[in-house]
Structures are given as structure tokens and as C-alpha cells.
Amino acid sequence: MSTFAKIGGITRLLANSSISKVNNTCKLRSLSTTPCRRELMEFFDDEKNWGVQEVKSGRSWKSDELRLKSNTDLHKLWYVLLKERNMLLTMEEECKKETRLFPSPERLDKVEDSMKNLETVVRERNKAYHLLETGEKGERPRKLETNVLGLHYKYKMSEHPIPKHLNTKWKKQYEFYKYDKEVEMFREKLNEKNYLAKKKQHRREFNHVIGLLNRFPNMDMEALKQQYPEVDIEKAKNSRKYGGHFEPK
């Protein structure tokens, strides 16, 4: 209470410049002051940055740095970043409308990058907390489903106030796979297409390896095997394409 009163007194005294010199000798924590309320002007950059060619800025926040911060700090930083992004978007829009170049557009990328990093850190903490408390990750549950065309996809599950069999709207929105002759035909053809593409790719790689062996006979075989794991090198060496147009030694 007493410290509070002291600080209150000093702030009052600071307004009077003649007495403020006396108070500088006092041992005090640095006064925390809130920044002045600019309200709607917070949507615009500093006035000195208006109409300039370049605005210097630092780098984005790394996730390793953010991991050291407390939850409250992250929460505060999020709003700082959010405001910064709004400001940059506003300035960009205005520049676009006035057909000017937006100075240092990389600032937007930096802010977005920081926001992404911050979100991953918060998500990590959330996951850890949920795993500790409930044994589950606490993320939105997903399930592998098959759609009407017979293709697999990750279905994002959500909560519904009414059960599945009564929910006509949901039924209309999400059509899952039911046996259909034409869909089966489509799937067959799709599988064939994928299979042929894979085969073609494999054949191309095989021939490429033979070409490499022809051009560079003293190549590092381990490296080759590592780069083309699908290709059987012994088989490639037995191919009729292997070896140049000359008599073998």
C-alpha cells in the first residue's frame, strides 16, 4: 500500500518539472506506462513511414524463442502481431488503391510467420496439457472416410446437437460411399491410371540409372542405390542397354 502511495505521489510530482529532479534520486522501479491510445490511428503506420520507399524491420519470432515465453506473454504478443498485421493490410490496401508500391512488403510475411510460430507453440502446450490431464490430445478428431467417388479423405469430426440418424441436414451435406457400379468402374480406371503412371516412372528411373552407369562406370554404387532405392542395379547391369557399342573386355 505504501509503495503504491509513493508511486502515485511521484507520478503526480513528475508533472511538475521543477520537483521531478529531486525524485530521480529515489530508488524506484521503472514506471510502467501504457502507450498512448491512438485508437483508430493504430490502423496506420507511424507518420514518418508514410510515403517512404523502404521501412526497416527486424526478423520474425522463432518458435524456439516463443517456447521460452509464458502463456500471458504469448497472449499479449498475439494481439501485438494481430494489430501489426491489420496495420500492414490497411497500408497495403491504400497503396494499391493509390497505385503506389507498398514499402517493404516482407513485413507482412514476417508477421504471418511469427503468428504461425506462436500458434504452433500454443498448440504444443495445449496438446501436452490435454495429454497430461485426459490422456487425449485435445485436437479436433479426424477419421479416414470414403466419399461418394470412392476416394479416401480425412473427415473432420464435429459435435452435433442431434444424433446422426435424425440429422437430415448432415446426411445431405456429407455423402459417404455406398456401393455403386459406375463408381466401381471409375475406381478401377483410376487405379489403372495410377498403376501405369507408377510403372512408367519406375521404367524411366531404371533407364536413367543404366544411362548413368554407361556414362560413369566408376560411380559410387552406394550413393546411386541411395538416390534410386526402387531400382535394382544388378538387373540394370544385366540389361542389354548396359555397356557401350563396343566389345566387352
CB of residue 55 vs another protein: minimum separation in angstroms? 13
CA distance 164 to 158: 11
Judged by CB, which is closer to another protein: 93, or 188?
Answer: 93
C-alpha dihedral sign at 169, 173, 176, 178: positive
Among 19, 28, 82, 190, binds another protein (CB under 8 A): 82
Taking contact as CB under 8 A, which single stretch among the options 8-16, 71-79, 128-136, 166-174 is the one that binds another protein? 71-79
CA distance 38 to 86: 14
113 lies in the binding site for another protein (CB under 8 A): no
Residue in this structure with the C-alpha cell 488503391, named with its chain if needed: 97
| Inter-residue contact 25 to 13 (CB < 8 Å) | no
CB of residue 230 vs another protein: minimum separation in angstroms? 38
Judged by CB, which is closer to another protein: 113, or 119?
Answer: 119
CA distance 176 to 181: 15
Own/partner contacts of 70-77, CB < 8 Å, gap of 24 or more, are 71/122, 71/125, 74/118, 74/121, 74/122, 77/118
Give 218's Cβ-side CA count (13 Å radius).
0
37 lies in the binding site for another protein (CB under 8 A): yes
Residue in this structure with the C-alpha cell 532405392, named with its chain if needed: 229
Among 31, 46, 56, 79, binds another protein (CB under 8 A): 79
Judged by CB, which is closer to another protein: 123, or 204?
Answer: 123
Q: Is 184 helix (H, G, I), strand (E, B) or coil?
A: helix
Among 12, 67, 83, 142, binds another protein (CB under 8 A): 83
Among 27, 29, 59, 140, binds another protein (CB under 8 A): 140
Among 46, 64, 159, 247, binds another protein (CB under 8 A): 159
Residues that bind another protein in the complex, under the rule CB under 8 A:
37, 39-44, 50-51, 53, 75, 78-79, 82-83, 85-86, 89-91, 93-95, 97-98, 100, 115, 118-119, 122, 140, 156, 158-161
